[in-house]
Amino acid sequence: MSRQIFLDTETTGFDPRHLTNPDRIVELGCVEMVNRKLTSNNLHFYLNPERDSDEGALRVHGLTTEFLRDKPKFAQVASDFLAYVRGAEVIIHNAPFDVGFLDAELKRLEMGSVRTVVAGVIDTLALAKEMFPGKRNSLDALCDRLEVDNSGRTLHGALLDAELLADVYINMTRGQDALLMESASTETAGPAVDLVDLRGIELPVLMASEQEIEVHAQTVEQIDKSSGGKAVWKQQEIVVQS
C-alpha cells in the first residue's frame, strides 16, 4: 500500500529558531492519499502560537491572535500529528520551510523530528524546478499551468493548500505513478497476465549508413558555427586533450 500525506503549515513569520521570540505554527493541514486516491482522512488544526503573527504573515493567512487564542497549542496535538504521518511519504511544497517549523515545535517537546517517523519527504518545489526550469513554480503558478482550480484561494490556508498540492502532484506525476499496478490487490478480477522471459532474445542493432553519418557531421558542424565555436562537445574535447 502506498500512503502519501500532503502537508502545509501557516506560521507567525519566517524564523522558527529565533532565540527570544521564535515564530510558531498557527495552522496545520494534512491530506491523505492511498494508492493515488484521496481518502478524505484528513488532519487539520488551528493552533495557538502563544505570540502575535508578524504583519506580513497575517496578511497572507488572515489568522488573528483573537481567533487563535482559544485554539489548542502544538503540544496538545503533537502526538496525534505524529501518529497520523508515521510511516507515510510526506509531500510538501518548499519542504525545508514546513519541516523546519515542525522540527522546531517537536524539539521543544523533546519528540524528535519529522524525518524520524515518516518514510520520506518529497519537495514538490524542487520537483517543479526540474520539470519546469526557468519558470515560476509557486503553488498558484503550478495550479495555472496544470489547470488545477484554485479560484477559492483568496488567502493561504493550510488545508486548502494541501488539497491543491495533492491535485498538482497527481498532475505532475501523471504517466509515472499512474501506470503502477497494485499486484496484491484482489478487489478487481481480470485475466491473468503471462510473463515472458525476454533474456534469450537477441535484439537487432541498426547501424547508421554512411550518408546518415555525413548528414550528422554536417549538422553538428553547423551548430558549432552558430554557437561561435562554443559547442559543449568542443569544450569537452579541449578538456580531454589537455
Q: Is residue 77 part of a domain?
A: yes
Residue 184 lies in a domain: no
- For residue 171, tell me if it sits in a domain: yes
First to last CA, the chain: 53
Q: Residue range 206-233: average pLDDT?
A: 77
Note whether 113 and 219 are same-domain residues.
no
Section 206-226 average pLDDT: 80
* Other Cβ atoms closer than 10 A to 220: 13
**Pick the catalytic residue: 18, 44, 61, 156?**
156
pTM over 0.75: no
Q: Are residues 215 and 138 in the same domain?
A: no
CATH number at 113 reads: 3.30.420.10
Our count of domains for the chain comes to: 2
Could you say which of 129, 163, 179 is where a domain stops? 179
For residues 163-167, average pLDDT: 96
**Would 106 be classed as within a structural domain?**
yes
Q: Domain range spanning residue 228?
A: 210-241
The secondary structure of the chain in percent helix, strand, coil, rounded to multiples of 5, reads 40, 15, 45
What pLDDT was estimated at residue 220?
Answer: 76
- 27: in domain: yes
- Does 156 qualify as catalytic in the annotation? yes
Reported confidence tier of residue 195, pLDDT bands at 50, 70, 90: low
Pairing of strands 3-11, 25-34: antiparallel
pLDDT tens-place string over residues 36-71: 999 999 999 999 999 999 999 999 999 999 999 999
**Are both 228 and 133 inside the same structural domain?**
no
Amino acid sitting at position 52: D
Per the CB < 8 A criterion, the answer to whether 30 and 91 are in contact is: no
